[in-house]
Amino acid sequence: MARKIPEGEFRNKERTKLKLIQAVGVIIRTEGYTKLGVNRIADTAGVSKKLIYRYFGNADKLIETYVKGEDYWMMFSTSDQEPIEESVEDQGQAAIARMLKSLYEHLESSPEARKIIVWEISEKSQLMKEVSQNREKFGAPILAQLDAFFDSSDIDIRGILSLLLGGIYYINLHSNSTGGNFCEIENQSEERKKRIFKSLEAILEWTYEEAGKQKTREKTPSK
């Protein structure tokens, strides 16, 4: 029969796990992912390194817990945000815009998230590979739903979203690392975000309108 864990012991365990997870974020933010060792994490958390093995198995599993918790798409997949399939009237246009804007704001506000992206594109890592693959799994059903609208046009929605996503990632990485302008847009957070969001909406509006026009022409019988 399994031992019943007293409530106080359970709370202490959860507090310690949270300290360790938060310590990973502190190290990534202040020292970089290359400093993520067992001793460094334990010292930052202020607990014994034995607890890393007790609660997570090893340091890699602890780091994985933090990284997956910080990744925007992992958080999005478990949030209450409106799924694409419920955005029927506009074929997902508003929902896509919301997701992209939310990603931008997440990266803008989280230095840890930005450093994780740098880690992902800088080194070969099994953990980062798994995070990337999980993003693709999350995106696959969304893209499949969009294909139903765009397949009868020559608009490549996947190509357009790739450019929008890549732009959002790079603008945040560049501007927050160098502190400089980008395409002569001043690095003033609110003004820059306003211009980026307006342009993002314009691109999506054109994309959907053009696909709609092509679908209409296809359905219109030639005289």
CATH H-level superfamily of 10-67: Homeodomain-like (1.10.10.60)
Residue 81 has pLDDT above 60, yes or no: no
The Cα–Cα gap between 145 and 85 comes to 7
* Long-range pairs, 90-99, Cβ under 8 A, ≥24: 90/208, 91/146, 91/149, 91/208, 92/142, 92/145, 92/146, 92/149, 93/204, 93/205, 93/208, 96/146, 96/161, 96/204, 97/200, 97/201, 97/204
Residue 23 has pLDDT above 90, yes or no: yes
The average pLDDT across 180-193 equals 81
The Cα–Cα gap between 27 and 62 comes to 13
The pLDDT, as a whole number, for residue 2 is 46
The pLDDT, as a whole number, for residue 222 is 56
The three-point CA angle 56-60-62 to 5° equals 40
CA–CA distances in Å: residue 1 to residues 4, 13, 216: 9, 21, 67
| Half-sphere exposure in the Cβ direction for 42 (13 Å, CA) | 15
The average confidence (pLDDT) of the chain is: 85
Residue 148 has pLDDT above 90, yes or no: no
Q: Where are the alpha helices (DSSP H) in the chain?
A: 7-30, 38-45, 50-56, 59-70, 72-77, 93-109, 111-122, 126-150, 157-178, 189-219
| pTM of the predicted model as reported, rounded to 2 decimal places | 0.82
Mind listing the pLDDT tens digit for each residue in 94-128?
Answer: 989 999 999 999 999 999 999 999 998 888 888 88
